């Protein structure tokens, strides 16, 4: 089956009326991949020239995920406008070109907050405020807010699973939208589970049937079923699901486990998911063009080498805590056709005595962002080892701060250098909180969030990576470099290669003479895509590849030398 089609990547579908909506729900269990399913469908629609946007509706009562533990919720993804959002927005941005903002992620907390502010202000004119219509109306208004005139299709993902009490207002709201907008303007995609029972040696459809039954009891009839499964779903199983769930057999989509989420759009294309939805929504669009995506997958599946990158962090027991980071490393590997073997290293486990044993087998070391004191000593030891052993090092946010602190301590000789985040009474505070900076006005909160401009110094590694002097990157941090330490670090060789245009904030530091040693205050992983790898990650993985090649060549020379000595002795 052909899945590429039109070779013109700029082909654009003509506007055919108001924005259409695709609602993505889930059942049976959480973590079935609703976000990946929504992103993959959006990817296919975009490949056909349609302008798409995506939105995540989360049922929890937090106003945003910024205060939640990474162990519980995974990473906090940050948009250009500084919104702290669900990690699914990272999938949306990596799979499409949709520009996302705070309007693309809503929680029950934000919805109720808006309603209560209106109620206190008297907007409801003495009426009794209820879930229906006030909460559902606010949800619908939030959904309609992303359906701007330049969008053809909006994909709305409802968090949680059918049957959760928290999700009911959102499900009721989208049920009402089908009633108000009509069948031709709305489509329901339900992601469910078809488990394989090893003891019985067969797939079981009952979980899917019960999930759809719950959805239909609410008043929603799914148009497409995305069935997560470990094995292929036979024609007979699809017909059984179609019969009992009242959908066409073609609309029962097998979402089999894959070794890379980037293969899901191709899987969906082979099963004509985009065709089914376009037909349902009565949209005429050009043939899909997946040529760039397929070329990317070819490089992913056929690497020419491999590098081992150690992520020294404090949340490594839960990989979703660093979701965007792991993907950005993969993207960097695609640039050089290298497979990136990510090795998770618990920062607390690293000691000066064992650093060589723990880290010497790595081709690159990365210390990511994080909050709190736990694991800092281990990070400092890992950074010192990378600096002294000439291993490529990349520090992001906290990883930059610890990089500079390690340098001030061990190179500049200021042994008590610290950050007030970890030592509030520190005498030599190399980093401190925004509001502690003299002459800097309150930024409206304790964090610097969203996109900020940065000016790069020509001739530096940072400039070499980006190829330009002005960039913009996304931030999420509370503590800044104390510019009183400019002279101590620069006099000892470290270079401040990036700063804000007004020279208030330091954004990038690096160390010339080292194979690759750079730290940035921002989070470059949030802007990396498989078709557009971030330049810092591409350069870092490339440097790790050079180290691996050098080590492999040295190993071969050593083996050859040993062979020749053994032969001579014989």
CB 418 within 8 A of CB 429: yes
Known active-site residue 477? no
Structure tokens at 442: 């309150």
Nearest to 37 by CA among 95, 114, 113: 95
Element at 509 (helix H, strand E)? strand 506-510
Q: What is the pLDDT of residue 7?
A: 37
pTM of the complete model: 0.92
Catalytic residue chosen out of the listed positions 227, 397, 509, 520: 397
Residues 211 and 227: their CA atoms lie apart, in Å, by: 11
Q: How many residues does the chain have?
A: 570
Nearby residues of 365 by Cβ (< 8 Å), 6 or more positions away? 309, 310, 312, 359, 382, 383, 385, 386, 391, 392, 393, 394
Element containing residue 423 per DSSP (H, E): none
- Predicted local confidence at residue 9, as pLDDT: 46
Question: Starting at the edge strand that comes first in sequence, how are the strands of the sheet with 429-433 ordered?
Answer: 418-419, 429-433, 479-481
For residue 116, how many other CB atoms are within 10 A of its CB?
11
Helix (H) or strand (E) holding 47: helix 34-47
Alpha carbons 250 and 262: distance in angstroms, whole number = 23
The domains of the chain, with CATH numbers, are 20-295 (3.40.50.300), 303-551 (3.40.50.880)
CB-CB contact of 73 with 65 (8 Å): yes
Q: Quick one: pLDDT at residue 370?
A: 83
The conformation of residue 340, written as its DSSP 8-state character, comes to: E
State the 10-residue block means of pLDDT for the chain, 570 residues long: 43 74 93 94 97 96 80 84 93 96 96 94 90 96 95 96 94 97 97 90 92 96 96 92 95 94 97 97 96 97 96 82 94 97 93 91 94 88 96 96 97 94 90 62 66 97 97 95 95 97 96 97 97 98 94 78 72
Q: Is 525 a catalytic residue?
A: yes
Q: Which of 91, 134, 523, 534 is catalytic?
A: 523
Q: According to the model, what pLDDT value does residue 550 have?
A: 86
Q: Give the per-residue pLDDT at 71.
A: 63
Contact present, 432 and 422 (Cβ < 8 Å): no
Distance CA 110, CA 63 (A): 5
Respond yes or no: is residue 397 known to be catalytic: yes
Give residue 568's pLDDT. Answer: 76
pLDDT at 10: 47
**Given 75, 381, 406, 525, the catalytic residue:** 525
Largest CA distance in the chain: 100
**Phi-psi group of 72: left, alpha or beta (phi > 0 → left; psi -120 to 50 → alpha; rest → beta):** alpha
Structure tokens belonging to residue 218: 């609410």
Helical pair 136-144 and 108-121, crossing angle rounded to 10 deg: 110
């Amino acid at each position: 089956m052909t899945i590429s089609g039109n070779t013109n990547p700029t082909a654009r579908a003509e506007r055919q009326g108001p924005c259409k909506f695709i609602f993505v729900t889930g059942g049976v269990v959480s973590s079935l991949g609703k976000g990946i399913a929504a992103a993959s469908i959006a990817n296919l629609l975009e490949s056909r020239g349609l302008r798409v946007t995506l939105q995540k509706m989360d049922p929890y009562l937090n106003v945003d995920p910024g205060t939640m533990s990474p162990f519980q919720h995974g990473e906090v993804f940050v948009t250009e406008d500084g919104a702290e959002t669900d990690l699914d927005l990272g999938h949306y941005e990596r799979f499409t070109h949709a520009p996302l903002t705070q309007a693309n992620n809503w929680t029950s907390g934000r919805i109720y907050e808006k309603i209560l502010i209106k109620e206190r202000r008297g907007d409801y004119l003495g009426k009794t405020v209820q879930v229906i219509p006030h909460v559902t109306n606010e949800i619908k208004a939030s959904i309609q807010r992303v359906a701007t005139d330049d969008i053809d299709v909006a994909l709305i993902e409802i968090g949680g699973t059918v049957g959760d009490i928290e999700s009911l207002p959102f499900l009721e709201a989208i049920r009402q939208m089908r009633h108000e907008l009509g069948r031709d303007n709305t489509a329901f995609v339900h992601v469910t589970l078809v488990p394989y029972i090893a003891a019985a040696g067969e797939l079981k459809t009952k979980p899917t049937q019960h999930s759809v039954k719950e959805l239909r009891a609410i008043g929603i009839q799914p148009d497409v079923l995305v069935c997560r499964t470990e094995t292929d779903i036979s024609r007979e199983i699809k017909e059984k699901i179609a019969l009992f769930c009242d959908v066409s057999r073609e609309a029962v989509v097998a979402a089999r486990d894959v070794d890379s989420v980037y293969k899901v759009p191709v899987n969906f294309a082979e099963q004509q998911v985009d065709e089914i939805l376009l037909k349902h929504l009565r949209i005429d669009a050009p043939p899909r063009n997946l040529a760039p995506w397929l070329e990317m997958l070819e490089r992913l599946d056929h690497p020419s080498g491999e590098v081992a990158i150690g992520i020294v962090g404090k949340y490594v027991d839960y990989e979703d805590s660093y979701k965007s980071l792991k993907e950005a490393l993969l993207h960097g590997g695609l640039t050089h056709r290298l497979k990136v073997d990510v090795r998770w290293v618990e920062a607390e486990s690293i000691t000066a005595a064992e650093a060589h044993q723990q880290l010497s087998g790595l081709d690159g070391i990365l210390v990511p962002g994080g909050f709190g004191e736990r694991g800092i000593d281990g990070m400092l030891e890992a950074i010192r080892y990378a600096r002294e052993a000439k291993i490529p090092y990349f520090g992001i946010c906290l990883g930059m701060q610890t990089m500079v602190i390690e340098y001030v301590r061990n190179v500049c000789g200021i042994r008590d250098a610290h950050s007030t985040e970890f030592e509030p009474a520190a005498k030599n505070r190399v980093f401190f909180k925004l509001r502690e900076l003299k002459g800097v006005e309150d930024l409206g909160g304790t964090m610097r969030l969203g996109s900020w401009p940065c000016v790069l110094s020509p001739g530096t590694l940072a400039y070499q990576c980006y190829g330009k002097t002005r960039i913009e990157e996304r931030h999420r941090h509370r503590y800044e470099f104390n510019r009183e330490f400019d002279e101590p670090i620069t006099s000892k060789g470290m270079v401040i290669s990036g700063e804000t245009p007004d020279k208030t904030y330091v954004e990038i530091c690096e160390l010339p003479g080292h194979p690759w040693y750079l730290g940035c205050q921002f989070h470059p992983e949030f802007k990396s895509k498989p078709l557009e790898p971030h330049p810092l990650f591409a350069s870092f993985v490339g440097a790790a590849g050079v180290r691996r090649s050098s080590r492999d060549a040295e190993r071969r020379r050593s083996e050859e030398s040993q062979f020749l000595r053994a032969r001579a002795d014989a």
